[in-house]
Amino acid sequence: MLIARNSKGKIIRLWNSSVEERQRWKREPFDCPACQQPVILKNGEIKRAHFAHVSNENCQVFSEGETEEHLAGKQIFAEWCAARKIKYEVESYLPKLEQRPDILLQGGITVEFQCSLLSIEKMSERTRSYQKHGYHVLWILGEKLHPRKKLTHLQTHFLYFDPNVGYYLWGMDVKRSQLILWFHIEETSDGRLFYQKKEWSFDTNLEIGDLQFPKIGKIVSRREYDLQIEYQKKRRWIGKRLYYKDKKMLAMQARLYQNHQHLLGLNKWFYFPVVEPFFLEASLLQLLIRLWEINGDTLFKEQNFLQSSLQLKQLLKTSRNLRRLPNCKQDQLIDYFVAEYLSFWKGRKRDGFFQDPLKGKLPKQVHLSRTPLRNMIR
């Protein structure tokens, strides 16, 4: 905690206090603004000055055991707001929500600087509560939650989405005093993660308008996938999961066996597109198999790929295997993915893929993935 209430009812803020003031306050009584229970001022050498509950059994709002990173992040944000003359409050208690965002910005923006693990249920509940009461929550990830080789199940729930930049995440590097945006985030079925990255310095070039960058920023991001290589990687991934007796993969193989088919001997149509949608709990391959069970081999004909796109959209909207991402609108995610799917197969029409419906011809050139979608070249 960076704030507390003194015996006169005044809120004391630590980030803009002097050493002398903090030494004097150590002899004064303070209480928590949320639960009214006693707190003490800690002013050691390892962590920066902060308040902590004497006993936190009755406080459901202020978390204890804050890391130095979390305390520093809140202070950096507060000092940035003050320097830019942005209206803000630190650790402002919202009684209707029974929640306390790390920073409350002008325009109803709540900032949550998340440095440690928490349950998906708790994160989703807090997000929905903010949204229900008209707040826009900005989850900013600490170092432990920064994306690396792949996104964890928890990290996917922090994802935002905008057609301008695709999926994106916010993060913070307190050591360098930087705000980070990872955007055009994509993940392949075998777990390879790709993204673009943009950084701003709290000390020099970060402005309040930059928090709207995903919606208004003018940027075109291009990513290349070699379809020949991706086809081989997808088959190896399937083979490996079958070898290790993955339950979901074995279930798909059992369905195909009834139609005298094998996962590794399917038409190349089943192995694309390259990117898996984050809002699916199950593999996209599972839905494509269902689409084939409905339509049969007519799916592989050039004139039917538009109809198959509409059917895929309906399957997605009625699927029970959707992952509810609290910061995203589900219908928007589905519409965007289906538009990408349709764009991909239009590109394969030009490549001559449908000239051989049994084997499928893969182009030698690369497949381009872009955001925004209107700039996509297949």
**Residue 181 and residue 111 in one domain:** yes
One-letter amino acid of 18? S
Peptide bond connecting 273 to the previous residue in cis, omega within 30 degrees of 0: yes
Q: Name the domain boundary from 203, 219, 235.
A: 219
| Residue in the structure block whose two tokens are 């057609």 | 163
**Residue 256 and residue 173 in one domain:** no
| Residue 345 pLDDT class (50, 70, 90 cuts) | confident
For residue 369, the SS3 value is: strand
User: Mean pLDDT: which of 7-11, 36-40, 189-193 is highest?
Assistant: 189-193
89 or 34: which leads in pLDDT: 89
Q: What is the largest CA-CA distance in the chain?
A: 83
Owning domain of residue 204:
67-219
Report the C-alpha gap between 284 and 152 in whole angstroms: 18
Q: What average pLDDT does the structure give for the chain?
A: 86
**Residue 40 and residue 150 in one domain:** no
**Residue 287 and residue 213 in one domain:** no
372 or 294: which leads in pLDDT: 294
**Residue 147 and residue 50 in one domain:** no
| CB 126, CB 98: distance < 8 Å | no
Q: Name the domain boundary from 25, 41, 65.
A: 65
Length of the chain counted residue by residue = 378
Q: What is the mean pLDDT of residues 337-351?
A: 83
pTM of the shown model: 0.85
For residue 41, the SS3 value is: strand
Cα separation values, 119 from 122, 123, 158, Å:
5, 6, 12
Q: Name the domain boundary from 65, 89, 116.
A: 65
Q: What is the mean pLDDT of residues 265-276?
A: 88
pLDDT digits (tens, 9 = 90+) for 136-153: 999 999 999 999 999 999
**Residue 13 and residue 87 in one domain:** no
Dig out the tokens for 86 from the structure.
Answer: 């942005």
pLDDT digits (tens, 9 = 90+) for 187-214: 998 889 999 999 999 999 899 999 998 8
**Residue 204 and residue 279 in one domain:** no
Question: What domain count does the chain have?
Answer: 3
Which pLDDT score is estimated for 371? Answer: 67
**Residue 305 and residue 176 in one domain:** no
**Residue 84 and residue 213 in one domain:** yes
